[in-house]
Every structure is written in C-alpha cells, then in structure tokens.
Amino acid sequence: MAERMKVHDPRGYPPKVTGKRLAPRLESLDGKTVFLVDCLFDNSDVFMDLMQRWFGQHLPSVKTRVIKPKETWADDTDMRKQIAANGSAAILGVGL
Amino acid sequence: MAAALELDGVPTVAVHTHVFARLARATALANGMPRMRQSFVPQPVVDRTPDQLRGYIEGADPISKRPFVQEVIEGLTKPLDQEDLQGLSFERTTPRLLEPDSSENLHRLFFENHWTDFLPVVLPTEERVERMLKGTKLPADKVVGRLRPAVFREFWEFTVEKVAVNAVMAGARPEYFPVILALAASGVTARSSSTNSFATISVVNGPIRNEIGMNSGIGVMGPYNHANAAIGRAYSLLSQNLQGGSVPGETYMGSLGNWYAYSAAFAEAEERSPWEPLHVQKGFKPNESAVCVFFGGWYTHAGYGPRATWQEKMRRCLSAVEQYSPPLLVLDPIAACGFAELGFDKKQKLIDWCAENARLPAREYWDNQWIQYLNRPRAVAGVEPYASRLRAKPDDIIQIFEPEEINIVVAGGETQGAWKMISGALRGMASVDAWR
C-alpha cells in the first residue's frame, strides 16, 4: 500500500458571504420608469438605445431612460440615487 | 452594481453575454445574492451591427432558451419567493491540511482542482512548508495581503504560510521566499481574469538578485535559471490559489491565454546598465531590494539597435502597441549603452522620447474598445490627458502615453544588441527586505 502523505491546502481564505435580499418586484411595468444602465462596454450604448426602442414599440406605457455611470468598474452612488429617486426598476448591460 | 441597486430597493436585471454565465452566477453567489436576476444575450456584443443587436433583443436568451425580453420583464415583475428574500449567507473555509492520501492521488487531486499550472508540482508536505518558512523571520500566521481575479470579485486573504505552500509547489528554495512574499504583497494578481489575457512580468532589483543567483544575463527571459523560473512560477501559482481560483469560464476569461502566465520574473542587469536601476527610479535606495510588477504581456515587439533608422523602427513599434497597455522596454546592455552613446545619458530621456513618439491619429486611438470603455468616461469628465485627446479632430496626431506610463529595464546577455517592447503597465512595487 502506497504511503499516505499529509500536505497543505494551497488555497487562500475566502470572505464570509452575507445573504442580501432582492428588492420587491413590481406588479407591472405599466406607467413605471425603467432606467437602462449603459455599463460603458463597447457597443452597450447601442444595445441600450435599441432596448429603449423596443420598449417604445412594444410596451409604450413603460417610460425608459438611458443612464451611464461616471466611471468604468466603479460604483456610481450618485447615479444609483438618481435611479432610486426617479425610477422603479433598472436593466444593466451589457457586461458585469 | 446590480446588487447595490437591489439593496437600494430597485428591482434590477443584469444583462450579460452568454459566455459569462458561469462567472456571473458565481459572482452573484459570492455577493450573497445567488438569485439575482440575470439575462443573457449571445456573445459578442462588441462590433455587432444594430440589426444584429436588435436580433439579440428579439431573440432567445441563449442560456434559458426563452425569449430574452420575457426573461427581462419577468425578472422585474415576477414575485419573489422566500429564498429571494433571504439571500444566502454561508461560510467558506479552506482547511490548513488536506486528508492524507498517496502521492499519486494527491497529485491527481491538485490537477483536478485546478491548483496547478498543469505541470507537475512539488507536494506541499508539512516538512517542506516548514523549510520554506525558514526563508523569512516573519511568523507563519502573519497576513500578507488579499488578491482577487477581477475588480468585481471578492478579495481572498492569505498568510505567510499559505504563500509558503505555493512556493513549495513551484519548486522554490527558502532563500527565494522573501521575493515571493514581496510579490504576493504587491496587491497585483498574476492571474487576472481579464478577457485580454493579461499576465504579469516581475522585475527584481537590489542585492537580493545576486544573493539568490537570479539571472540578468543570457536567456534572462527564458527557462535558464532556477531562481527566475521558480519565483515567476510561484507568483503565478500563489495568485491563482490564494485569490480563489483561475478556472476558465468561472474565474478566468482570457480569450487567448498568455504564456507569460507560466513564469515571468527576472533581475535587472544593474551592474551592466548605463542608467540607474528601476527600483531607484521608483524611490528605493540602491542597497534596498525590491520587486516591480508589470501587468500586461499582451503584445511583444522586438528590434535591434540603435542603428541609423532606429527612430523609424521604434516609432513603428510604438504606434503598433495596444493603446490601452503602455510599453515596458527591456534593453540588452549593448542596446542600452548604444542609446546612452547617442545622448540618452539617463533612462528618463529615452522614456520621454518614447512618450513623445508614441502617436496615433485620434480616430485610431478612440477606435479601440478598451480606450472607449476605460478612457472615454474620464475624457468626458474632463480628466486630462484624455479630455484633450477627445477634443482632437479625427485625423489629428495625438500622443497616446504619458512618460510616467512607460518603463525601461536593462537585462540580457550581450550576445546581441536586442530589445523588446512588451505590454506592461507598472501596477505594483514592494520591498523585498520587509519580508526577509
């Protein structure tokens, strides 16, 4: 029988994950303002413009506003405040 | 950002391209929000025409196979269940020691868990790790730092002992350990998950180079020296393992990958350079030892010189670099001395010349997806020099790098007056002496 070796685990220490609840969903988008957040990836502005057109053509009762964060890969708190104050929902894209 | 909006009370759907599905879900899980609403369109979005993108919107989500817009609308309106309301809290632990097993089984376990670079590793037994720890006076439980594969991922933390484990795996010797600890402490991962397949290139300066026998001569950037090879490999292995992985599709998204990611560490040839060493340029004393970490390895140009037409050659290379990743020039001492004889008696003069001659038409500069993504928002916000570059007319020739973005290192065996121009933004520096 082969000798059994005792070796170290090479992985680091992950942080504890704290569960976070999702925001309550809307009963309907009718009459609501949905912010379309352009995450600044190349061509995501075109994608969000097309999303806006899609809503205009298929769900005209939904108001949409395209918005961009100030910086790439940064949490733009001012933008989030604006969305929370003036909108009911958000669609982010395209990318992480 | 989607998680932050949810916490603000705004129901949100995040749209990604389908190749990022596993990564997006893993990120949501690590955020404690595994049921975050995510919808997917086909990859790529970049370079697609408006008609093609309209097709994405009107077509099916390639992951769920359901209409994309239906997924989005339901994501905002479908009532939440109990799991959505709770989120998911959990502790993830990694044990200090693995279950004892045979060498063969342990090697298989390390391969299957993506803990290696798919070359054989030295198994980190308690005895080997103990020997590695003798390479520093610092306690095994001292926290060295935190790393993560991308800005949107969570940081993982690690101690001196965890770095030692990975150093053993790479085949390093205890005397290399302070250099490896300094790299680990730099805060820069050598295993970025960037789709650009970035790697790191590490330059070692100061007395430690000679104390541990690092190579700054023939074959400096190749597999011809144990210290160079093992230090570079250790940095790569510790990055992937201590940050929570570098697994394709989950924690690694580099489309082409990068051979620099196997091992890329070398010493500057300070004694044969006509200029001051890199670490002294960056504020360290000549008798201090330090590491500088360059993030890149995306492109590599090469040349000789300087001969009569060196300026034309260098300008062509500088205009051919990817404009979001500044160049690191590695000059053989023969080439460096040649430049010094031409009047570049300080490194900075050659750096300034490179910055002044790294030029593109504004139209070409801005027609780059990463320049659009990273620099355009800064330009719009009025941040210089990006704002001036944005104001330029499309055919205006603009400078694409500032001098402080360009670096020069002297290394090589003087068998040829060669130089290389490598993608390499200086991202981190650390004292080696602090980790002895």
Using an 8 Å Cβ cutoff, are B227 and B177 in contact? no
CB-defined contacts A:B, below 8 A:
276
Q: Which of residues 66-95 of A touch B (CB under 8 A)?
A: 68-73, 75-76, 80-81, 83-84, 87-95
Chain B residues in contact with A5 by the CB 8 A cut-off are 100-103, 106, 123, 125
State which residue of chain B sits closest to A70, comparing Cα positions: B377
A17-55 b/e with 16+ CB inside 10 Å = b? beebbbbebbeebeebebbbbbbbbbbbbbbbebbbebb
- Average pLDDT of the segment spanning B180-187: 98
Contact A8 B377 (CB under 8 A): no
CA B33 to chain centre: 28
What digits encode the pLDDT tens for the residues A57-85?
999 999 999 999 988 888 899 999 999 99
Q: How far apart are the first and last CA of chain A?
A: 50
Q: Where do runs of H (alpha helix) occur along B177-250?
A: 177-185, 208-211, 226-242
Q: Which residues pair with B361 in a beta bridge?
A: B397
Chain B residues in contact with A73 by the CB 8 A cut-off are 151-152
Using an 8 Å Cβ cutoff, are A10 and B237 in contact? yes
Contact B10 A84 (CB under 8 A): yes
Contact A24 B237 (CB under 8 A): no
CA distance B159 to chain A (A): 8
Chain B residues in contact with A87 by the CB 8 A cut-off are 10
> Is some CB atom of chain A closer than 8 A to the CB atom of B100?
yes
Phi, psi at B263, each rounded to 5°: -170, 120
Per-residue confidence (pLDDT) for residue B84, from 0 to 100: 81
Judged by DSSP in three states, B386 sits in helix
Nearest to B37 by CA among B88, B86, B66, B78: B78
Phi, psi at B184, each rounded to 5°: -65, -30
Q: Which of residues 6-35 of A touch B (CB under 8 A)?
A: 6-29, 34-35
What percentage of residues in chain B have a pLDDT greater than 70?
A: 100
Using an 8 Å Cβ cutoff, are B250 and B153 in contact? no
What digits encode the pLDDT tens for the residues B223-237?
999 999 999 999 999
Judged by DSSP in three states, B146 sits in strand
Contact B11 A23 (CB under 8 A): yes
Q: Rounded to an integer, what distance in angstroms lies between the CA atom of residue B117 and that of residue B246?
A: 10
> Is some CB atom of chain B closer than 8 A to the CB atom of A65?
no
CA distance A31 to chain B (A): 13
> Does the pTM of the predicted model rise above 0.95?
no
State which residue of chain A sits closest to B377, comparing Cα positions: A71
What digits encode the pLDDT tens for the residues B81-117?
888 877 788 888 899 999 999 999 999 999 999 999 9
* CA separation, residue B42 to residues A95, B16, B47, B230 (Å): 12, 8, 13, 41
- Average pLDDT of the segment spanning B54-82: 95
Q: Where are the domains of chain A?
A: 33-93
Q: Rounded to an integer, what distance in angstroms lies between the CA atom of residue B195 and that of residue B201?
A: 18
Per-residue confidence (pLDDT) for residue B199, from 0 to 100: 97
The region, left, alpha or beta by phi > 0 then psi within -120 to 50, assigned to residue B341 is: alpha
